[in-house]
Amino acid sequence: MAGPFGATSTTDEVLDGVDLSGKRILVTGVSAGLGVETARALAAHGAFVVGAARNLDKARTATQVVRAGAKNGGGLDLVELDLASLASVRACADALVAAGERFDLVIANAGVMACPKGVTADGFETQFGTNHLGHFVLVNRIASLFKPGARLVNLSSSGHRFADVDLEDPNFDHTPYAEFVAYGRSKTANVLFAVEFDRRHKDRGIRATAVHPGGIQTELGRYMTPEITADLIREINANQPEGAPAFSWKTIPQGAATSVWAGVVAPADAVGAHFCEDCHVAEIVEDPGFRGGVRAYALDPEHAKALWAKSEAMVGERF
């Protein structure tokens, strides 16, 4: 595996000595947090980053650091993308396809977390619709732009442990809504999407993986009150095996490290169709109390195919 990296490794440490000159990389969610840091690190090593964001004014301000730090031909362009609106997703994808410039890497970084019950512009449960279906349509519509040898990195979460996808009731029409169950479903979907995308495209040398960035304090947690956060950390620590380290927050550069590691540093065959955390490929762990690892249901190939078919039916589009 590339590099002696771990939970505390930063983006700059992971990319030390890596030259990304001439690489084009799409990163969604570049108006704050992990998206900005991911774009900054990549551009600082020569990559040209296309950053997607719902609010372009906010993104322009947030990404000033990306432009300021770009080196060796690196740079940044911004495109409008609201993942909670398939009209916006399709418009963004169509514009990218029309431009015809190809990508070496796509990092599906944007998302929402543990928000109150709501629906997207198309009537999908907010977290599943935004985190999964928005990226599902975007990535598949621009699949022709992936260069041979390109990669897709989907940002999932250890929160996938909260729930498997529910293909019978994805919008909570018949199920009581719970914020973290909905989040868990969407994060499991991110992993399963990577598994099936990898299967469909690896013959072209295109690989896909999913990553858990770690616990980071960003705008993603805007719906998390201090009380909810404290209760969650208390529960995590209470369920750890004896002798395991207590939960600790990562910095944003530490949180973005696994995305860039999986995208440009780790061997493609090592990460393809896998789940990565702390700059390594995670093992399957079924112990409900253990903080690390990935649940088997999130990597199941037949489950991934079923989610793909359900997603196509929901968005009314075949890929």
- Please say whether the beta carbons of 42 and 75 come within 8 A: no
Angle at 120 between CA 118 and CA 122, to 5 degrees: 130
Q: How far apart are CA 293 and CA 157, in angstroms?
A: 10
* Structure tokens belonging to residue 315: 């968005």
Are residues 240 and 285 in contact, defined by beta-carbon separation less than 8 angstroms?
A: no
Helical residues (DSSP H) of the chain, grouped into ranges:
11-14, 33-44, 56-62, 64-69, 86-99, 126-127, 135-141, 179-201, 226-238, 252-260, 268-271, 301-315
Residue 27 is which amino acid? V
Does residue 177 have an active-site annotation? yes
Q: Which of 177, 183, 223, 297 is catalytic?
A: 177
Distance from the first to the final alpha carbon of the chain: 33
Nearest to 135 by CA among 204, 209, 199, 189: 189
Residues known to be catalytic: 177
